[in-house]
């Protein structure tokens, strides 16, 4: 068997979903790797990593993670960004900004917090014959950023939106659709870049027919699941610190509460626990919201052969199971900053 390269730490980014660590390491580290993850939760990362792999591979990974510039998450800046959107996107502004000639594309935006069950929702929807899946595409973010760069507004986002002439924001919709054209093979297309929750105001303004799904999960479960996962560092740097995780979740929660207040009925929430425990009724409600007819294939989503590039690529190949519900309780003593989320 080819030996793992100690310097290639990206090889291990999916390791919590691997069932046999013997496939990844020169010796059998199953038991010790379990200790590794428990150690990560108790703050003993560096010590347990050294024990876990004597060849130094995981020790190098731990040092790289702990010293990476990518982990410098600015919680205060993220909170200011959230506050700016709440202050700008008022109910009156959104009610008056509906564009009669907005782009009619049937895009289904799936938003949420990492590890919320969004891949499962996209798998269910893309099992429908009228739906194609774009996955986690940066198309909307790049379209908005590209528009801002071309217009070169002096004000920060989202204030510059109000400085544009009538109809100008249609450029964002056109650019977005150009970027996702390769994925649009059906009447509907899903886009599940989760942090598009920050742009729901823009989505409402440029895509009047868009469906917006908030993938929701128990806050402690979802944060614990993030904490035990080795993500791409620059993508979600807040997942390596419990305090930052709690702050980031509150930003998401606060902004989603705002969107639901100023856009009543516009967003459909899918609760992960409800989906697991009441699969058919939750799926029927989801399809009805999206304007899709019933199709039994949506209950057999695990037979969908599409390529899945997220951390949940293993789970969506199986029927629904409830093993991940309340899993955080095993580690309750170590999750202090997250526990208050259940009372917010």
Exposed/middle/buried for residue 19 (C-beta within 10 Å: 0-12, 13-18, 19+): exposed
Measured from the Cβ of residue 338, the count of other Cβ atoms closer than 10 Å reads 24
Q: Which CATH superfamily is domain 71-343 in?
A: P-loop containing nucleotide triphosphate hydrolases (3.40.50.300)
What pLDDT does 64 receive? 55
Summarize pLDDT for 72-98 with one digit per residue, the tens. Answer: 889 999 999 999 999 999 999 998 776
Q: Over the chain, what is the mean pLDDT?
A: 82
- Full-model pTM: 0.81
Cβ atoms of 248 and 238 within 8 Å: the answer is yes
The residues, any chain, with a CB within 8 Å of residue 194's CB and separated by 6 or more, are 110, 111, 112, 113, 114, 116, 118, 136, 215
Summarize pLDDT for 151-204 with one digit per residue, the tens. Answer: 877 889 999 999 999 889 999 999 999 999 999 998 999 999 999 999 999 999
Summarize pLDDT for 113-127 with one digit per residue, the tens. Answer: 999 999 999 999 999
- Report the candidate in 118, 324, 158, 163 with the shortest Cα–Cα distance to residue 255: 158
Task: Look at phi and psi of residue 292 and say left if phi exceeds 0, alpha if psi is from -120 to 50, else beta.
Answer: beta
- Ranges in the chain annotated CATH 3.40.50.300: 71-343
């Amino acid at each position: 068997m080819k030996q793992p390269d100690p310097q290639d730490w990206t090889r291990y980014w999916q390791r919590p979903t691997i069932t046999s660590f013997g496939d990844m390491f020169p010796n059998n580290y199953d038991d010790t790797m379990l200790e590794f993850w428990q150690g990560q939760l108790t703050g003993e990362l560096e010590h347990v990593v050294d024990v876990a792999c004597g060849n130094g591979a995981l020790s190098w990974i731990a040092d790289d993670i702990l010293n990476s510039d990518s982990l410098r998450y600015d919680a205060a800046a993220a909170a200011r960004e959230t506050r700016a959107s709440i202050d700008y996107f008022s109910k009156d502004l959104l009610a008056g900004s509906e564009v009669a000639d907005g782009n009619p594309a049937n895009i289904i935006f799936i938003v949420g917090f990492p590890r919320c069950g969004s891949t499962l929702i996209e798998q269910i929807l893309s099992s429908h014959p009228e739906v194609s899946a774009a996955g986690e595409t940066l198309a909307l973010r790049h379209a908005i950023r590209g528009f801002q760069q071309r217009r070169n507004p002096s004000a920060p986002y989202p204030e510059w939106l109000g400085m544009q002439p009538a109809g100008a924001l249609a450029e964002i919709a056109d650019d977005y659709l150009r970027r996702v054209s390769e994925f649009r093979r059906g009447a509907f297309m899903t886009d599940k870049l989760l942090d598009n929750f920050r742009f729901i105001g823009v989505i409402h303004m440029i895509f009047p027919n868009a469906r917006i799904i908030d993938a929701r999960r128990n806050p402690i479960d979802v944060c614990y699941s993030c904490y035990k996962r080795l993500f791409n560092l620059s993508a979600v740097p807040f997942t390596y610190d419990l305090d930052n995780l709690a702050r980031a979740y509150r930003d998401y929660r606060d902004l989603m509460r705002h969107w639901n207040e100023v856009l009543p009925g516009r967003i459909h929430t899918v609760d992960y626990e409800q989906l697991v425990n009441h699969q058919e009724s939750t799926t029927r409600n989801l399809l009805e919201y999206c304007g899709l007819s019933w199709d039994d294939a949506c209950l057999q989503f695990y037979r969908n052969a599409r390529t899945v590039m997220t951390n949940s690529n293993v789970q969506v190949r199986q029927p629904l199971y409830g093993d991940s519900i309340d899993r955080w309780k095993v580690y309750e003593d170590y999750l202090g900053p997250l526990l208050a989320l259940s009372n917010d």
